[in-house]
Amino acid sequence: MRALVTGGCGFIGSNVVKTLLSKNVQVRVLDDLSTGYAKNIRGLDVEFIRGDIRQADVVRRALRRVDVVFHLAASVGNQRSLKDSRADSEINALGTLNIMEASRKSGVERVIYSSSAAIFGELLTSTVSEDHPQNPETPYGVSKLAGENYVMAFGKLYGIISIALRYFNVYGVNQRYDPYGNVIPVFAKRLHQRKPLIIHGDGGQTRDFINVRDVANANYLAATIASESSVFNVGTGKTITINNLAKTLMACTGLSASLVPGPKRIGDVRHCRADITRIERALGFKPDTDIRKGLSQYYEWFSRERQQ
């Protein structure tokens, strides 16, 4: 198998690259390094192309002699999209269109698209199946849904096996601090600095946190087992409150901090848990990283990273 991983220097993308290499897949990475880090793939046996998915000529070059595309390059996060909605749309929607047009012309057999639970918007049920209505409430959710629709439409039109993986809250190694990003690295940074943890809202909101190693495995299964186009939730099927997440991280690290209330974030949903029945049945996917173990491993990596 010859694979292109867009965004392969990023947090999730670099973990997908490592999983593919462990399965003896030939890997090419396309990344503009705007949010990714070259050191995430340093020393790995990959071909690296530095470039932007918004540039059609760069995408065409990256897709030569490729069997499968893992499309992870994106502008990520609700808060970032509120700050610069145009860039969010250009990268996530039009960039994905470039990927699909080039995939069609290059004879790519399948595309694995990294989607997001943000496409659902305000949830009608606390447990979310793939059939839940999609009414995104932020530019990020809108652009990721647009990208997903492009991928699935091209799949139908041109016979490309197209898989959309709707990630819930992903965390783990190579996830660096980003003020617009996941709450776990934000908490980790403040713990490392011995500062209070800011809880937006009352902390009773729940999330389904999945370790990036499980997400990388879901990508591999989608590329090797799925026989037809489909969409899949990628989560654990379990939730934890933000308050309990903070307490669990402190217990895992042996550090303590006070919890300080902050304003509720625009676009945040109250409760969110993935129904992963479909991906379990279709691909045999089983997330097996306990959150305590995952948080401990993450903070160990985070602490080493901060010392470099």
- Is 140 annotated in the active site? yes
Pair 44, 104: CB distance under 8 Å: no
Per annotation, catalytic residue among 140, 150, 167, 171: 140
Q: Which of 117, 149, 139 is nearest to 130 (CA)?
A: 117
Question: How far apart (Å, rounded) are the C-alpha atoms in residues 133 and 128?
Answer: 9
* Residue numbers annotated as active site: 140
